[in-house]
Amino acid sequence: MSTESLRSTIPPFYVMDVWKAAAERARSHGDVLVLAAGQPSTQAPAPVLRATRAAVDHELLGYTETFGILPLREAIAGHHSETYGYDVHPDEVVVTTGSSGAFTLIFLAAFDVGDTVVVARPGYPAYRNTLSALGCRVVELDCGPQTRFQPTVAMLEALPEPPAGLVLASPANPTGTMIDPAELAAIARWCETHGTLLISDEIYHGITYAGASTPTSSAWEFSRGAVVIGSVSKYFSMTGWRLGWMLAPAHLRPALQRLASNMTVCPPAISQYAAVHAFGPEAKDELDGHVRRYATNRALLLEGLPALGITDLAPADGAFYAYADIGHLTSNSLEWCARVLAETGVAVAPGLDFDTERGLRTIRFSFAGATNDISAALDRLSTVMSPNNFP
């Protein structure tokens, strides 16, 4: 009997265990409030749903071009041009099976076993874990409040040698912080000078809030040698449709074509035909309405959590997360979250996914749900916010 591969022995994605436990709580008690899910609580926009029905009736829904159907690549190119002011040709767009598929493809296309790739800590765990499974050496930059949880050129300069790649996210998961455009420009220049591939995770673009300390910027504003990752999951409210994309430099596209055609053939056809209609004005009006609700929910949390004694919060300028240090409550956030779910029916994500060093004292709240759920969750949490509850 064969054993599991060494590459499969990466850490689990702990938030998925929270989701499973929350589903069990919903079945047994019917009272769960999920503030752990990194996804919108709304359907895809109405034009997308109409297009889906039309595609079922009129399209073959067979294999498509490996990099995606031309109308979708044109829509994505137009979206970037309209949003950021830089020109994108449809041939520069690579449509993928979710942004997760985009990351796996670019990691395989650009890095060899043993290559060093740098990521921020705290950060999205799948960067670190996927790179490790592919045999890369992952170096984490300790990005704390002093740099608004974002990497800097000074951190890169302090490395013993330039890495093969750098992955950054703005707005970031789990902190919701955004990188200053000037710093992003400086990082892009540094990467070009040192032969480091900059991979910019921009899947939360579109979800930002009034009063943010910095505007949203895209890596392709500063470097066409970078790779930009996008997705219909977050702002577009289409997580389960499993559709993402990347803007890829010409020298990487042949490798991406070879890998994608063998590994996935093409992204899901029905999602492609539907997503063409996610970029129009009707859809964006609906989606911007979701962002206004997120803003209301964010304000509730940023006021309510300090009232409960949780005061050490990352600046949630974008995305739909509040990242908090709860070291005054527990030294094991994994156990604390499980017990809070059991006692109150409120599900939040332990920080262990996002920070390999300080994650046992941090948690992530998602405020992408209904406003009433946020208010109710704060009320329930008030009953357990004491170190004496969970020693």
pLDDT at 19: 84
Determine, yes or no, domain membership for 391: no
d(CA 271, CA 69) in angstroms, rounded, equals: 11
pLDDT at 215: 84
Domain boundary among 230, 253, 280: 280
Query: 256 and 158: one domain?
Result: yes
pLDDT at 388: 63
Angle at 32 between CA 30 and CA 33, to 5 degrees: 145
Strands (E), the chain: 33-34, 93-96, 116-121, 137-142, 165-169, 197-201, 227-231, 244-247, 321-325, 346-347, 349-350, 362-366
Give which of 215, 212, 209, 160 is closest to 183, Cα–Cα.
215
Name the domain count of the chain: 2
pLDDT at 306: 97
d(CA 331, CA 216) in angstroms, rounded, equals: 35
Domain boundary among 228, 254, 280: 280
Query: 198 and 317: one domain?
Result: no
Determine, yes or no, domain membership for 1: no
CA 117 to each of CA 24, 129, 225, 260: distance values in angstroms, whole numbers, following the listed order: 38, 12, 16, 21
d(CA 106, CA 247) in angstroms, rounded, equals: 11
Q: How far apart are the first and last CA of the chain?
A: 43
Query: 187 and 69: one domain?
Result: yes
The CATH number that applies at residue 95 is: 3.40.640.10
d(CA 104, CA 260) in angstroms, rounded, equals: 10
pLDDT at 221: 98
pLDDT 10s per residue in the chain (391 long)? 668 998 999 998 888 888 898 889 989 999 999 999 889 999 999 999 999 999 999 999 999 999 999 999 999 999 999 999 999 999 999 999 999 999 999 999 999 999 999 999 999 999 999 999 999 999 999 999 999 999 999 999 999 999 999 999 999 999 999 999 999 999 999 999 999 999 999 999 999 998 777 789 999 999 999 999 999 999 999 999 999 999 999 999 999 999 999 999 999 999 999 999 999 999 999 999 999 999 999 999 999 999 999 999 999 999 999 999 999 999 999 999 999 999 999 999 999 999 999 999 999 999 999 999 999 999 999 988 866 665 4
Sheet holding 165-169, edge to edge: 93-96, 244-247, 227-231, 197-201, 165-169, 116-121, 137-142
pLDDT at 201: 98
Determine, yes or no, domain membership for 170: yes
pLDDT at 390: 57
Helix pair 333-344, 371-381: axis angle to 10 deg: 100
CA 200 and chain centroid, separation: 11
Determine, yes or no, domain membership for 390: no
Structure tokens at 133: 């499974």
pLDDT at 384: 86
Strands 362-366 and 321-325: antiparallel
Query: 108 and 203: one domain?
Result: yes
pTM above 0.75, yes or no: yes
Query: 375 and 267: one domain?
Result: no
pLDDT at 108: 98
d(CA 262, CA 109) in angstroms, rounded, equals: 13
Query: 17 and 110: one domain?
Result: no
Give the residues across from 244 on adjacent strands: 96, 231
Query: 242 and 272: one domain?
Result: yes
Give which of 184, 157, 167 is closest to 115, Cα–Cα.
167
Domain boundary among 280, 302, 319: 280
d(CA 307, CA 309) in angstroms, rounded, equals: 5
Structural domain including 356 reads 6-43+283-384
DSSP 212: -
d(CA 350, CA 364) in angstroms, rounded, equals: 6
176, 321 Cβ separation under 8 angstroms: yes
